[in-house]
Every structure is written in structure tokens, then in C-alpha cells.
Amino acid sequence: MSASDTKQLTLSSDFEEMDQLEPFVDELQQWASFGEEDLNRIMLALSEAVNNAVVHGNKQDPEKEVVIDSRLTDNGETLVISVEDEGDGFDPNSIPDPLKEENLLKEGGRGVYLIKQYADEVQFSKKGTKITITFSLD
């Protein structure tokens, strides 16, 4: 895979770093030639994944990094983005269902649910420190 097949962004675990996400997704849009609908769902899912990595994974420790890797596959028809943190990980199966009545008013717990709604495929690896999000591009 050549460098032109991938794009990477590394952030420290500081909320101000989140400002780099929008220009990064704009760059991905130019690179992969996808439309506004894909731009919006990619931006939302990536924001949620990075926020989870900063808050839950790295515990907002600015010494720890969040690495975002993206690659095009299937002749440019699929965008695969991974977000990896330096935290201890978690069991993705232990996340409570945010749609259950007892969870509806809870403040957190919707990030992974939203990512799954906007992505075509979601996988966790490395003990939950890495999420890989796949988008089929129109």
C-alpha cells in the first residue's frame, strides 16, 4: 500500500485537538471524492470515536495520543478509518443499550451506538483500544 492510499492524523488527548478533525475530514473528502451525506456521517462517527478515545481511553491525559488512520479500499469505494488510544481498553460488549428505558436519561453511553448507526461496519480490537469504522462511499 503506498502513502497515497492512506491518511493519518495524530492528536494529543486534549479537547482543543478536536479542532483538527473537521479539516482532516475535509481532506479525506477531497482525497476520496465523497459527497456531503458521506461527509456528515463520517464526521459524526469520527468525532464520537475520537471523543471516546480522549475521554474514556486516554482519560484526557495530554501525554497520551490518539492515532487516526484511514485508507481507501475496493478501488476507492470503501473508506476504512481506525481510531486507536493508549488506554487500558474495555469490553465493547459491556456497553449498556442506550435505547433501554433505564438508560434513556443517562448522560453518556450513546457514542458507540451513534457510530454503529452512521457506519457500515464497526469492529473493536486490541482489547478495545482500537475501533475500526468502515464506510461504503456513494
* Residue 98: CB atoms within 10 Å: 15
| pLDDT of amino acid 97 | 75
In this prediction, residue 94 has a pLDDT band, given cuts at 50, 70 and 90, of: confident
Share of the chain above pLDDT 90, in %: 78
pLDDT in tens, 27-43: 999 999 999 999 999 99
3-state secondary structure 57-71: HCCCCCCCEEEEEEE
| pLDDT of amino acid 1 | 42
Q: What is the CATH number of domain 3-136?
A: 3.30.565.10
pLDDT in tens, 46-90: 999 999 999 999 999 999 999 999 999 999 999 999 999 999 999
3-state helix, strand, coil in the chain (%, to 5): 45, 25, 30
| pLDDT of amino acid 96 | 73
| pLDDT of amino acid 71 | 97
